[in-house]
Amino acid sequence: MKALAEVKQVQKNVDEFKLGPVSLSIEAGTITALVGTNGSGKSTLLKLMMNLAKADAGNIKIHNMFVNGLNEEWKTHIAYQPQTMIGWDAFSGKALRDFIAPLYPAWDDQQFNDIIQAFSVPLNKRFGKLSQGMQQKLILALTVARNTSILLLDEPTAFMDIPSKQKFIDLLIEWMESGDRAIVMSTHQVDDIMKLADYLCVLQEGKWMGTYEKETIQHMYCQYWMRDALPSESLPGEVSREGNQFITSKPEAMETYMREHDLHCVNQRTLGLEESLSLLLNK
């Protein structure tokens, strides 16, 4: 598949915090979720991709153009929705649309109006007078309507109610079907990850733990309940144990071990995505 964006061995130091090195390839037709605890570097990575923060090492390309190079045409291919907007409070949604639209040659006014109507956003109301959820919906409309091939979304549903989140998911699925496009989004919402993400880029306190297919993480850990007491030795891939039950990150190796040692399992289950992410982040 075609790589729309590439992050290669990027590092960033901010006071005592260090991000990276991180490497990512963002391919057309994919949605990548940045996941991790608060302060793990998700928002920083998105800012680096927009060149709003400067990397201390490594490089980033958007449509094969370095974001820190002289050619700034890459900016027409990418749109960014931050968590909060500074300096917008005094302006109405209509005024913001009139200011932003001319900056993007491919601006899609029909797309903008469709999102505004879907979320019932009052365009004549000043941004600062809108609820946080309504602000997010307006920012989303102003971001998606730029009609770029890449969307960067920073916690886009943090303040949305449940019906709005479903509309948001439907909107992004429809947007992805309109061409060679990709989304990179930071989120704490497991539902967003389950319904949207193809890949998960896992960050923990600035350390890049890896990028995984969602299905890989969904099948990464298995919990077993054994008939008899567990052997004192460490089991293959053992993550934790309590009484006669344990969790392993190597279920296939564990199945082989049980056959070879005549151990009998009375029950087992594959851990869900949220549980698996928690274990992965606590490594």
Q: For every one of its 283 residues, what pLDDT tens digit does the chain have, with 9 covering 90 and above?
A: 679 999 999 999 999 999 989 999 999 999 999 999 889 999 999 999 999 999 999 999 999 999 998 999 999 999 999 988 999 999 999 999 999 999 999 999 999 999 999 999 999 999 999 999 999 999 999 999 999 999 999 999 989 999 999 999 999 999 999 889 999 999 988 888 888 999 999 999 999 999 999 999 999 999 999 999 999 999 999 999 999 999 999 999 999 999 999 999 999 999 999 999 999 888 7
**pTM of full prediction above 0.85:** yes
Provide the residue type at 8 as one letter. K
Other C-beta atoms closer than 10 Å to the C-beta of 227 total 10
My answer on whether 55 and 114 are in the same domain is yes
My answer on whether 164 and 24 are in the same domain is yes
- Residue after which a domain boundary falls, among 202, 217, 232: 217
My answer on whether 28 and 160 are in the same domain is yes
Contact of 244 with 218, CB cutoff 8 Å: no
Q: How many domains does the chain have?
A: 2
My answer on whether 141 and 272 are in the same domain is no
- Residue after which a domain boundary falls, among 168, 191, 217: 217
Peptide bond into 236 cis (omega under 30): no
My answer on whether 27 and 42 are in the same domain is yes
The set of residues, in sequence order, having a beta carbon less than 8 Å from that of 245 and lying 6+ positions away, is 223, 224, 225, 226
My answer on whether 73 and 162 are in the same domain is yes
- Nearest CA to 10 out of 43, 46, 55, 74 is that of 55
- Residue after which a domain boundary falls, among 179, 200, 217: 217
